[in-house]
Amino acid sequence: MTGAVTQCVFCDIIAGRIPAQLVHDDEQVVVFKDIHPKARVHLLVVPRVHVPSLDELEERHDALVAHMMRLLPVLARKQGLATGFRTVINTGAGGGQEIAHLHIHLLGGAPLPGF
Ligand code: 5GP
Ligand code: ZN
């Protein structure tokens, strides 16, 4: 399987099979720049484990979820987002999710419109 491209583009990025601009990685998550940024800073916080969406999260993922949440403000600070940031999680077709591997969008660096 070495070098094989999977059905999941984010698993392929995590495995280093396709390139991405990494800004952080640790034992639980990989963080890279969105290929089509919607703000000056647009990062994707992606768990190493393939969980398709929020809908498939289970109790065994609780530590991972906490880690992702607590990492967000740390990343934002490192990106210079001193006045705040936006986080988005799209879930399923009805939520506009395009990549079926759980991820949190971290956006900022420009005045973002109200929601
Ligand atoms: P979703 O709509 O699933 O919440 O968001 C998927 C995001 O992944 C989109 O913002 C899209 O621009 C980004 N994306 C899709 N393919 C790639 C890729 O190959 N590399 C990177 N860095 N981002 C990607
Ligand atoms: Zn995946």
Q: For 31-89, what is each residue's pLDDT tens digit? A: 999 999 999 999 999 999 999 999 999 999 999 999 999 999 999 999 999 999 999 99
Rg of the chain taking only CA atoms, in angstroms: 14
| pTM of the predicted protein model | 0.95
In which domain, by residue range, is 42 found? Answer: 9-108
Question: Is 40 part of any domain?
Answer: yes
Is 68 in contact with 45 (CB distance < 8 Å)?
yes
Pairing of strands 22-25, 86-88: unpaired
Instruction: HSE, CB side, 13 Å, CA atoms: give it for residue 104.
Output: 22
Question: Is 3 part of any domain?
Answer: no
Question: Is 115 part of any domain?
Answer: no
Question: 62 CA to middle of ligand 2, Å?
Answer: 18
Sole residue written with tokens 């059905």: 7
Domains identified in the chain, total number: 1
Pairing of strands 41-47, 86-88: unpaired
Sole residue written with tokens 């399987």: 1
34 lines ligand 1 (CB under 6 A): yes
Residue nearest to atom 24 of ligand 1 (CA): 35
Question: Is 62 part of any domain?
Answer: yes
